[in-house]
Amino acid sequence: MTDPIHNQILGGFALAGALTETANYQPVTPHPKQALFLALDDVEEALFGGATGGGKTISLLADALKYVHVPHYSALLLRRTFPELKQEGGLIAVAHEWLSSTDAKWNEQDKTWSFPSGATLKFGYMDNENDKYRYQGGEYHYIGFDELTQFSESQYTYLFSRLRRREDIPVPLRIRGATNPGGIGGKWVFDRFIPEEFTPAQARELKVWYKTHDDGHVTAFVPSLLDDNPSLDRDSYMRSLMQLDEITRAQYISGDWLIQVRGDILYTYSEAHSVITWEMFEEVFGYGAIPDHWKKGVYLDWGTTVEHPCAISWFATAAQNSPLPGAVFLYRGILLDHECTAVRVAHRIRDVMTVQERQACRAWQMSHEASSERMEFNMQGLPFSSWPTGKRRGIEQLKNAFDLTMTDRSHPFKPSLTGRPALYLIVDSNELVNHKTDAGLSRWRSEFMAYHWDRLKSGEAMTQLVPYPLYNDAVDTVRAAAADYWPYSAQLTAAEQLYRDMPEAIKPSLAPDAPKPTVNELMGQQLWLNQEIEKRTQKKRDPMEFR
C-alpha cells in the first residue's frame, strides 16, 4: 500500500487533473482532509467519517462527479430514506446548486443527472431492507452512501454486486461511505473501516488509515473533524450541537467511534454493572464455571444469514444456597451467520454442553417460526419448543432485570460500584472492554446498546410501536428468557432449610476455623432439630388418615 503522505501528494495531482475536466460541475475547492479522501482512486472501498460538519456530504458528491467527463461513466449516491435524500442541504439539493446552471440535464422522475459525455449521476434510497433489489439490474462505477451507519451491512455488501465496468471505460471502481459514528450500523462500519490502532486523538493527523482484513482486502478511512471544514460557521454550528444528547454530541463533535449510540428501549442496561468476568465470578462463588446443580435454560433465535444470524443464549440462575440466590447469568452465547443447518447447530450445541449441563436445563425454547428446524432439533435429542409470539414480549421484564436495585450497597463483583442488576453477562477477561467475539458476548452487548423502537408510519398509534426489526437476534433470545422469568432457582435441600431456620443463638458456625460446639450446645441443637422435624412432618401428613 502506498505511503499515506506519498499518496496525498500524488493524489493532489490526480485530483487536479480530474477537476480540470469537471471544474464546471464542482464549484468548490476541497480542504486538505477532503482532498485526501478524493484522491483515493487506488482503493476500492473507503470511508470519510467522524465529526459532523467536516464536509463529508459535499466530498461524496464531488467524488461522484469526478469522472463525469468520461463517456458512459455511471455513479449512484444513496441515503437511507427519500426524505433525507431530498432535504435542504442534502445530496439532491446540493447537486442542484452545483449543476442547474451547467449543461447537465436533470430527470426528475429517475432522479438522475445526465452529462454531455453520456455519463450519469443517479440518486437513490433504501428505506426498507428489500429496497436493495431495486438496483439489481444496475451497473455503476461509483457507489456512495451518505450517512453509511444508517444502512444495514447486507444492504451495503449487496451493492458490491452492482459495482462493475466494461474494459473500455477508463475509470476506477469505487464504493464510498460518509458518516458520523453511531447509528444502527455503527458497529459493522467500525469493524469494517476503523483500524484497531486508531484513537480519536489521532483524527487530526492528515493521514489515510488502512485496515487489512483476513481475506486480504484493504479498506481506507479518512477521519474528519469539525475543524477540517473552515467553510463552516463553527460557533453557530456548535451551539446547535449542544442541544443534542450527551452521547450523540460527543460522537458528532469529536468523531469518537468508541462511543456507542444508545437505543431507546434498554436504557436501564449498564455495561459497567452487568458485564463481569469469569475471574470475578469465581471470587464470589468459588467456582470458575457454572455449578452443575444450578438450573439452566437455552434460548435460540433461528436464522441463516448475516442479516439474521442464528443466536443461541445460555442462562443459569444462582441456587438458593449460593451467595447471590436468584441472580441470573448469561454465561454463554454463540452466533452462527452462515451455512447453518439444524443438524450442524444441534452438533454445536451438544459439543459445548456437558451431560450434567443438559440435565440441568429446565427450558429449551426457540423462535416460533422455525417449525421444521425445531422438529430436527428434537430428533437430535434437544427438546426445543417454540416460545410464544409477541414483538414486545419480555421487554419490560428485561428492562427490570437490568435496572439497578440495592443502590446503597456495593456491587457484588465490583466493590467500587454501588447497586446491582438481576442479570449479569459473564465474559472472558481479555474482552471485558474491547469485545469482538462470542467469548466477550460481543453481539449481545452491541445489540443491548443499540436496541431501539422502529419509526411509526403515518397514522399509526403509539400502541403499535414495535422494536426495529434488524440487529435484534441476540436480544430476542434474552427477552424470551426474561418473559419466562428465567430458569427457576434451585431450592434449598431439607437440611439447608433447617440450618437456615435455626435460631442464631444455637446455630453452629460453618467456618473451617470455628471452635467445636460444647456438649450443651449440641444437645440444644439436637432438641430443636427433633422438634422442628416433627412439626414439618405433621404438616405434610394427610388429615384424612386419622378418620
Residue 362, domain member (yes or no): yes
Mean pLDDT by 10 residues, the chain (547 residues): 32 39 74 90 91 73 94 95 88 94 94 96 92 89 94 92 85 93 81 84 85 92 71 58 56 58 81 96 95 94 85 95 93 87 94 92 92 94 92 93 93 94 96 88 89 76 76 93 78 66 77 76 81 73 46
Same domain, 230 and 310: no
Q: What pLDDT is stored for residue 66 in this prediction?
A: 93
Which pLDDT score, from 0 to 100, does residue 479 have?
Answer: 95
Q: 428, 333 in Cβ contact below 8 A?
A: no
What is the CATH classification number for the domain harbouring 351? 3.30.420.280
For residue 37, being part of any structural domain is answered with yes
Same domain? For 13 and 110 the reply is yes
Q: Would residue 447 count as lying in a domain?
A: yes
| Closest alpha carbon to 333 in 469, 188, 442, 448 | 442
Amino acid (one-letter) located at 183? G
Same domain, 330 and 442: yes
pLDDT of residue 439: 96
> Is residue 227 domain-shared with residue 358, that is, in the same domain?
no
Q: Could you tell me the strand order of the sheet in which 209-212 lies?
A: 105-107, 112-114, 120-125, 74-79, 142-146, 174-179, 45-50, 218-224, 209-212
pLDDT score recorded for residue 384 = 95
**Are 55 and 190 contained in the same domain?**
yes
Long-range contacts of 238-247 (CB under 8 A, 24+ apart): 241/52, 247/182
Q: Identify whether residues 476 and 501 lie together within a single domain.
A: no
106 lies in the same domain as 55: yes
Task: Provide the number of structural domains found in the chain.
Answer: 3
Residue 366 sits in the same domain as residue 228: no
- Distance of alpha carbon 229 from alpha carbon 203, whole angstroms: 14
Query: Does residue 264 belong to any structural domain of this protein?
Result: no
C-alpha–C-alpha distance, residues 273 and 404, integer Å: 8
Residue 265 counted as domain residue = no
Residue 294's pLDDT is 92
Cβ contacts of 373 within 8 Å, gap of 6 or more? 302, 342, 345, 366
Q: Within this chain, do residues 339 and 204 fall inside the same structural domain, yes or no? A: no
Residue closest to 65 by CA, chosen among 18, 33, 31: 18
Q: Is residue 261 part of a domain?
A: no
Residue 274, phi-psi category: left (phi > 0), alpha (psi -120 to 50), beta (remainder): alpha
- Rounded Cα–Cα distance for residues 450 and 471 (Å): 8
**Per-residue model confidence (pLDDT) at position 346:** 95
Structural domain including 520 reads 494-546
Cβ atoms of 212 and 196 within 8 Å: the answer is: no
pLDDT value of position 508? 80
Same domain, residue pair 149 and 246 = yes
Together in a domain, 372 and 283: yes
- Residue 18 in domain: yes
Please indicate, yes or no, whether residues 368 and 503 belong to a single structural domain of this protein.
no
| pTM, to two decimals | 0.53
Domain-located, residue 488:
no
pLDDT at 383: 95
